[in-house]
A and B are shown apart, each in its own frame.
Chain A
Amino acid sequence: MISNILLTVALLCGINGLLALFLIIAERFFLNYGPCTITVNESKTVRVPGGSSLLSTLNNEKIFLPSACGGRGTCGTCKCRITQGAGPLLPTEMPLLTQKEIADQIRLACQVKVKRDLSIRIPEALFSIKEFKAQVTLIKDLTYDIKLIRFKILGDDEILFKPGQYVQLQSVSYDDVKESVSRAYSIASSSDEKKSIDLMIRLVPEGICTTWVHQYLSEGDEVRFTGPMGDFCLCEGTGEIIMVAGGSGMAPIVSFLRYLIQTKSKRKVTYFFGAVTKKDLFYLDEMKRFEKEMVDFTFIPALSQPEPDDQWDGETGLITVPMKKYIQQIDTETCQAYLCGSPGMIKACVQILNENGVTSDRIFYDPFA
């Protein structure tokens, strides 16, 4: 009796599975949606083959929407407005959309399939994001776990970016990792340099992209990245600039400093860099050079747990300690702050800055970080 029931259940499950498999195969091979037209911002039209997600279809057309989960429908960063042709809302989209967004025709580009003509609206800034082919020309250890990687852009392409922006580097298959992933890395080089970029990449234990960079990438390799992206940029102003960073957060700050040198800025800049021990410090010679080249620049590194061997006579404690001591002594009315590091560091800094008169509209950092 029980074996009969089990057999029937197994049979039903088997049939269900086969039907589902058949539907997937049928959709892939027999459902030909033909060419479709996507109208972007009522001004640009592209003719594309139907059948894939809007996200990947736009990618193929060199229109790069942000994506933090690789199109898995879990991050919501690929939201865009589809005013025509999107079809009914999918169950996979619902949890990530508010009622207001649904009313405003916002959809997840990675979930919506291109099956008919579509009209979409996206921020104009996304059109300036390009995909670049580049060659690795330099890999240099900055610390035991941070490498500087220089990429020379191949072909006639040039990258036009604002200091503080980042690119999405695409890894390639290695070892057990069969698919490519993209990860954000802030550009550390000067925005004057249009044929190459420098990134500072810190190894994350068991990280997909950073393991590839640290253990598999070699000088001479060709890679792809998209960019520039991000709104973390230097703002107009005449007041003092406070910069705070830790680890690879050094990258966008270096790009800011290079820009201030190029533009012969007269603004006073004080840069606090936090590390645990001396072996986490880097770019000290460059900072000395910047101190000479800039009108009024001070670099203040602090070690939170210096080793006895470090023979450290500089600031000690969390980076917030010297930063707090400093801003309590200055007039913060016009001062701006630029932060780059872990969300924990950013949260602690914002609190101290707010308590000392630097309002949130004058504090800048990458919100997705």
Chain B
Amino acid sequence: MKQTPGEQQLEIRFRPGQITKSGFMGDDTRHIHDIIEADGKVLERFGLKKADIADRLTLFMDEGKKELEGKVDLGEYVVQVHWARGLMPCPFGEPGLHPKVVVHVFSKASRQEIRYSQLSVHMIRKHGFWGGKGSVFRLEPIDVIRLLKMGGNGE
């Protein structure tokens, strides 16, 4: 099916070198909306909403920001934030700019780490988009839910 010009623009903004170096799709050939739908279903299984995840990721980011680049020990987790100057747009194209902030959350118990940017949190909250499979900032919903010990038993 042919794309509308709006959809073409959307698809262009997700490509490498447009807004971010490697783009947002990785090697995922699915349509953006199909990716969103599939990831949304994982959340549903756990009885979670996009905002629940985005709130938790924001909480870690805010704690990390307080230490200005140093590691913050939050007991179960260690958080570290890197904050470059400058702002960047969202590939979905609505007005507004987002700080260039990268967050690392390390779980002491599972010894697993997730990495996300402030833009990733916005995209999860507003658009339900976690990145295409294989993209550098892709967050796998199931991994995030497990690492952050959220939701009921949806497994």
CB pair B17–A95 under 8 Å, yes or no, is: no
B65's nearest neighbour on chain A, judged by CB, is: A344
Partner of A318, one of B68, B87, B94: B68
Q: For the complex, would chain B's binding face be called helix, strand, loop or mixed by DSSP majority?
A: loop
Whether, in the assembled complex, B136 has its beta carbon less than 8 Å from a beta carbon of chain A, the answer is: yes
Partner of B2, one of A18, A183, A184, A204: A18
Whether, in the assembled complex, A154 has its beta carbon less than 8 Å from a beta carbon of chain B, the answer is: no
Q: How far is the CA of A318 from the CA of B67 in the complex (A)?
A: 7
Least CB distance, A286 to chain B, in whole angstroms:
22
Interfacial residues of chain B within 56-93, with CB under 8 A of chain A in the complex: 65-71, 81-90, 93
CB pair A74–B96 under 8 Å, yes or no, is: yes
Count how many chain A residues have C-beta atoms less than 8 Å from C-beta atoms of the other chain. 53
Least CB distance, B102 to chain A, in whole angstroms:
6
Partner of A304, one of B69, B102, B136: B69
Least CB distance, B51 to chain A, in whole angstroms:
22
Given known A-B contacts A179-B17, A246-B69, A205 and B82 have beta carbons under 8 A apart: yes
Chain B contacts of A308 at CB under 8 A?
A: none
Whether, in the assembled complex, A345 has its beta carbon less than 8 Å from a beta carbon of chain B, the answer is: yes
Whether, in the assembled complex, A176 has its beta carbon less than 8 Å from a beta carbon of chain B, the answer is: yes
Q: How far is the CA of A135 from the CA of B120 in the complex (A)?
A: 36
Given known A-B contacts A17-B4, A69-B89, A178-B17, A206 and B22 have beta carbons under 8 A apart: yes
CB pair A74–B93 under 8 Å, yes or no, is: yes
Interfacial residues of chain A within 117-137, with CB under 8 A of chain B in the complex: none
Whether, in the assembled complex, B1 has its beta carbon less than 8 Å from a beta carbon of chain A, the answer is: yes
Q: How far is the CA of A64 from the CA of B99 in the complex (A)?
A: 24
Interfacial residues of chain B within 1-29, with CB under 8 A of chain A in the complex: 1-5, 13, 16-18, 20-23
B102's nearest neighbour on chain A, judged by CB, is: A205
Query: Which one of B86, B89, B90, B93 has the greatest number of beta carbons of chain A within 10 Å?
Result: B86
Partner of B16, one of A18, A176, A184: A176
Bin the interface of chain B by size: 35 or more
Partner of B68, one of A181, A319, A366: A319
Query: Which one of A10, A17, A183, A274 has the greatest number of beta carbons of chain B within 10 Å?
Result: A17
Given known A-B contacts A14-B2, A68-B87, A207-B84, A344 and B68 have beta carbons under 8 A apart: yes
Whether, in the assembled complex, B106 has its beta carbon less than 8 Å from a beta carbon of chain A, the answer is: no
Chain B contacts of A73 at CB under 8 A?
A: 93, 95
Whether, in the assembled complex, A20 has its beta carbon less than 8 Å from a beta carbon of chain B, the answer is: yes
B95's nearest neighbour on chain A, judged by CB, is: A95
B93's nearest neighbour on chain A, judged by CB, is: A74
Chain A contacts of B3 at CB under 8 A?
A: 17
CB pair A16–B89 under 8 Å, yes or no, is: no
CB pair B70–A177 under 8 Å, yes or no, is: no
Given known A-B contacts A304-B67, A344-B83, A75 and B97 have beta carbons under 8 A apart: yes
Whether, in the assembled complex, A330 has its beta carbon less than 8 Å from a beta carbon of chain B, the answer is: no
Least CB distance, B22 to chain A, in whole angstroms:
7
CB pair B21–A69 under 8 Å, yes or no, is: no
Given known A-B contacts A17-B2, A305-B71, A177 and B84 have beta carbons under 8 A apart: no
Chain A contacts of B94 at CB under 8 A?
A: 74, 95
Least CB distance, A14 to chain B, in whole angstroms:
5
Chain B contacts of A178 at CB under 8 A?
A: 16-17
Chain A contacts of B89 at CB under 8 A?
A: 69, 72, 74-75
Whether, in the assembled complex, A368 has its beta carbon less than 8 Å from a beta carbon of chain B, the answer is: yes
CB pair B20–A206 under 8 Å, yes or no, is: yes
Least CB distance, B24 to chain A, in whole angstroms:
11
Least CB distance, A122 to chain B, in whole angstroms:
21
Least CB distance, A231 to chain B, in whole angstroms:
15
Those 4 A-B pairs whose CB atoms lie nearest each other, nearest first: A17-B2, A177-B17, A342-B83, A369-B85
A–B complex contacts, Cβ < 8 Å, 30 sampled: A13-B2, A17-B3, A21-B5, A69-B97, A72-B13, A74-B90, A74-B93, A95-B94, A96-B95, A177-B17, A178-B16, A181-B17, A202-B84, A204-B82, A204-B84, A205-B82, A207-B21, A207-B84, A207-B100, A211-B21, A246-B68, A249-B85, A274-B68, A304-B67, A305-B70, A343-B85, A344-B81, A344-B83, A369-B85, A369-B86
Give chain A's interface residues, CB within 8 Å of chain B: 10, 13-14, 16-18, 20-21, 24, 68-69, 72-76, 95-96, 173, 176-179, 181, 183-184, 202, 204-208, 210-211, 246-249, 274, 276, 304-305, 318-319, 341-345, 348, 366, 368-369
Give chain B's interface residues, CB within 8 Å of chain A: 1-5, 13, 16-18, 20-23, 65-71, 81-90, 93-97, 99-100, 102, 136-137
Q: A69-B89, A75-B97 are in contact. List 11 more A-B contacts (CB 8 A).
A: A14-B1, A69-B88, A76-B95, A95-B95, A177-B16, A177-B17, A177-B21, A204-B102, A246-B69, A304-B70, A348-B68
